[in-house]
């Protein structure tokens, strides 16, 4: 058994290691070392917890058993999961953090003596407030992440679910959470604790259903943030430094990612959260323009254009992930490089379904990360490039964001694809993107539409090169 002071110092050390873990991600070279620091911090925290409890009773065996069960499941998932499914995986993991926070809070509420928080029905007021916050945020994280997971997995439709009176209802529930927390603290009644949990689960569910599939980058980042605040709430309850530090880190990390994603779409955070984007005008705008002529090409035309180019910029989007075309794409690029054609990749901040989604997929396909550029880094290069190869992206290339103040995406930063000498657009059909708006790029003189599955088209082009 080690003293409370000593264990507090070890918890501080693991907190610092967690900071270093995030710090390592500033560049791919240091990132693996960072991940190691994270693991080390976790090992220290768990070991110290065992040592501080000290009594190695038979309960200890069960702790190890449950730890092992969870560990095996986690390891299995980590090795099996395809990289295209990362958004679902992360959403699923968030839900587990949320649920774990809820369970720890329940445990602490039922047996406060074990945590030095007082006795049942006589829990220290401060602890009870902290516990309620941890439990409520945890519950919101859990149910919200479940919905996000179902939407990303395609089990639930990605289209926003809205109904009349949605916002007043949500506001009412949020107010009731505050009231129930107050009643819980003043009466210490277990009933209010259960009501608090139930209401929090409900609001998490209601908050995420009106948000459309393509806004998932914001939602995932936001839930990431929530899971951190939940952990911090529990950290205050348990008076545990490692948990407080980690909660704060994760909370601010998720908040920053949400901000970056919102900026990438030129939308305010509240605009995304209130949801319902893309639910209107979907049909009217696309029908009117469907008649315009487009230039329709095949793999041979595309190969011809690229063979005669000296530089090609590739713009991947969610469609590439859906078609699992990243490997085929890399093979095509290899062939291009053999012909001394300069190739780079341009990634829009909100391409894909989560922050950095495209980068991971390209890395999986062995694309060196120094050929992959962010929007600001590469946007000026389009004017000097011969061919832009847009694969599975749509709205992030739409010039209407710069020219048409009426467009719902006006003001959103976009890739200046239209400045290229020619644009190749791989798409399954002319249907508009998630924003429900037509892309003027389809009808430009120098655009060649390649209607096919992204993977198949890329393979065919490679054959023709």
Partner 1 sequence: MEIDPFIFRLSIFILSIFIGYYVVWSVTPSLHTPLMSVTNAISSVIIVGAIIAGLAGNYDNIFNTSSIFGFLAISLAAINIFGGFLVTQRMLSMYKKKKKDK
Which residues are marked as active site?
Answer: 395
Residues 268-327 within binding reach of partner 1 (CB under 8 A): none
Binding mask 17-46 for partner 1 (x = CB under 8 A): -xx-xxx-xxxx--xx-xx--xx-xx--xx
**What are the Cα distances from residue 204, in Å, to 37, 95, 164, 198, 271?**
33, 11, 18, 10, 17
Strand 311-316 and strand 342-347: the pairing is: parallel
Residues 177-206 that bind partner 1 (CB under 8 A): none
To partner 1, the closest distance from the beta carbon of 86 in angstroms equals 6
Site string for partner 1, 224-243 (x = CB under 8 A): x--xx--xx-xxxxxxxxxx
Q: Which stretch binds partner 1 (CB under 8 A): 146-154, 274-282, 367-375, 426-434?
A: 367-375
Instruction: Select from 4, 6, 9, 50 the one that contacts partner 1 (CB under 8 A).
Output: 50
Q: 422 - beta bridge partners?
A: 387
Number of Cβ within a 10 Å radius of residue 209: 17
Q: Among the candidate windows 109-117, 309-317, 413-421, 423-431, which touches partner 1 by CB under 8 A?
A: 109-117
Structure tokens at 465: 């090169």
Does 126 interact with partner 1 (rule: CB under 8 A)? yes
Q: How far is the CB of 295 from partner 1 (least distance, A)?
A: 33
Residue 84 CA, distance from chain mean position: 12
Distance CA 422, CA 139 (A): 50
User: Is residue 58 near partner 1 by the rule CB under 8 A?
Assistant: yes
Cβ neighbourhood burial of 370 (10 Å; 0-12, 13-18, 19+): exposed
- Shortest spacing between CB 82 and partner 1, in angstroms: 11
The closest of 92, 81, 148 to 360, measured between CA atoms, is 81
Given 263, 360, 404, 410, the residue binding partner 1 (CB under 8 A): 360
Q: Minimum distance between the CB of residue 360 and partner 1, rounded to whole angstroms?
A: 5
Q: Give the binding range for partner 1 (CB under 8 A) out of 171-179, 193-201, 353-361, 401-409.
A: 353-361
The one segment of 157-165, 205-213, 280-288, 347-355 that binds partner 1 by CB under 8 A:
347-355
Min CB(244)–partner 1 separation in Å: 5
Q: Using alpha carbons only, give the angle 432, 435, 437 rounded to the nearest 5 degrees.
A: 45
Chain centroid to CA 379: 24
Question: Would you say 326 or 422 has its CB closer to partner 1?
Answer: 326
Minimum CB separation of residue 65 from partner 1 in Å reads 8
Distance CA 277, CA 214 (A): 9
CA distance 248 to 341: 47
Binding to partner 1 in span 412-451, by CB under 8 A: none
Strand blocks (E) in 225-350:
311-316, 342-347
Q: Which residues contact 276 (CB under 8 A, 6 or more apart)?
A: 160, 162, 210, 212
Cβ-based nearer residue to partner 1, 16 or 294: 16
Task: Choose between 50 and 296: whose C-beta lies nearer to partner 1.
Answer: 50
Site membership for partner 1, residue 347 (CB under 8 A): yes
- Residue 325 C-beta: closest distance to partner 1, Å: 17
Question: Residue 79 or residue 163: which is nearer to partner 1 going by CB?
Answer: 79
Question: Which is nearer to partner 1, 259 or 410 (by Cβ)?
Answer: 259
- Binding flag, residue 357, partner 1 (CB under 8 A): yes
Q: Are 432 and 281 in contact (CB under 8 A)?
A: no
Backbone angles phi, psi at 361, to 5 degrees: -65, -40
* Residue 246 interacts with partner 1 (CB under 8 A): yes or no: yes
User: What span, in angstroms and rounded, lies between the C-alpha atoms of 61 and 265?
Assistant: 50
DSSP assigned state of 211: S
- Which has the closest alpha carbon to 201: 146, 161, 150? 146
200, exposed or middle or buried, with CB in 10 Å at 0-12, 13-18, 19+?
Answer: buried
Exactly one of 123, 199, 211, 220 binds partner 1 (CB under 8 A); that residue is 220
Q: Report whether 386 contacts 311 (CB < 8 A).
A: yes
Tell me the C-alpha distance between 408 and 436, whole Å: 9
Among 150, 209, 256, 274, binds partner 1 (CB under 8 A): 256
Q: Which two tokens stand for residue 113?
A: 């003596």
Which of 213/228 has CB closer to partner 1?
228
Length of the chain (residues):
465
Binding residues among 67-106 for partner 1 as defined by CB under 8 A: 67-75, 77-79, 81, 83, 86, 89-90, 93-94, 96-97, 99-101, 103-104, 106
Asked if residue 155 binds partner 1 (CB under 8 A), the reply is no
Find the shortest distance in angstroms from Cβ 283 to partner 1.
34
CA–CA distances in Å: residue 461 to residues 82, 349, 464: 25, 27, 5
* Residue number with CB closer to partner 1 (34 or 212): 34
Name the residue nearer to partner 1 (CB basis): 106 or 156.
Answer: 106
Shorter beta-carbon distance to partner 1: residue 203 or 231? 231
Minimum separation from the CB atom of position 74 to partner 1 (A) = 3
Q: Distance between CA atoms of 287 and 107, rounded to whole angstroms?
A: 57
């Amino acid at each position: 058994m080690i003293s409370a002071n000593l264990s507090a110092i070890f918890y501080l050390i693991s907190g610092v290691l967690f900071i270093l873990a995030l710090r390592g991600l500033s560049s791919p070279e240091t990132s693996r070392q960072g991940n190691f620091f994270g693991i080390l911090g976790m090992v220290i925290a768990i070991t110290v917890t065992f040592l501080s409890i000290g009594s190695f009773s038979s309960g200890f065996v069960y702790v190890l058993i449950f730890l092992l069960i969870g560990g095996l499941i986690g390891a299995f998932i980590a090795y099996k999961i395809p990289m295209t499914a990362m958004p679902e995986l992360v959403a699923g993991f968030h839900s587990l953090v949320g649920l774990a926070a809820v369970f720890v809070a329940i445990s602490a509420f039922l047996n406060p003596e074990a945590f030095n928080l007082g006795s049942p029905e006589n829990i220290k007021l401060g602890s009870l407030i902290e516990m309620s916050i941890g439990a409520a945020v945890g519950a919101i994280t859990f149910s919200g992440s479940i919905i996000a997971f179902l939407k990303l997995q395609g089990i639930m439709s990605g289209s926003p679910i809205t109904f009349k009176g949605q916002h007043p209802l949500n506001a009412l529930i949020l107010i009731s959470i505050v009231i129930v927390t107050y009643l819980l603290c003043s009466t210490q009644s277990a009933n209010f604790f259960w009501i608090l949990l139930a209401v929090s689960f409900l609001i998490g569910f209601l908050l995420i259903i009106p948000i459309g599939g393509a806004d998932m980058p914001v939602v995932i980042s936001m839930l990431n943030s929530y899971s951190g605040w939940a952990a911090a709430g529990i950290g205050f309850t348990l008076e545990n430094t490692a948990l407080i530090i980690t909660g704060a880190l994760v909370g601010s990390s998720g908040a920053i990612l949400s901000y970056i994603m919102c900026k990438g779409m030129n939308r305010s955070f509240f605009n995304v959260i209130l949801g319902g984007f893309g639910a209107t005008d979907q049909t009217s705008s696309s029908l009117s323009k469907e008649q315009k002529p487009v230039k329709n090409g095949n793999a041979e035309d595309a190969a011809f254009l690229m063979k005669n180019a000296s530089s090609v910029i590739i713009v991947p989007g969610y469609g590439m992930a859906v078609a699992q075309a990243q490997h085929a794409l890399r093979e095509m690029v290899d062939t291009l490089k053999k012909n001394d054609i300069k190739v780079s990749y341009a990634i829009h901040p909100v391409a894909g379904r989560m922050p950095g989604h495209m980068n991971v997929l390209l890395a999986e396909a062995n694309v060196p990360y120094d050929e992959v550029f962010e929007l600001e880094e590469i946007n000026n290069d389009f004017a000097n490039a011969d061919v832009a190869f847009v694969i599975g992206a749509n709205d992030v290339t739409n010039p209407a964001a710069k020219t048409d103040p009426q467009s719902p995406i006006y003001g959103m930063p976009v890739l200046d694809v239209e400045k290229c000498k020619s644009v190749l657009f791989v798409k399954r059909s002319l249907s508009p993107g998630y924003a429900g708006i037509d892309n003027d790029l389809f009808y430009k003189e120098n655009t060649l539409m390649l209607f096919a599955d992204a993977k198949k088209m890329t393979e065919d082009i490679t054959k023709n090169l």
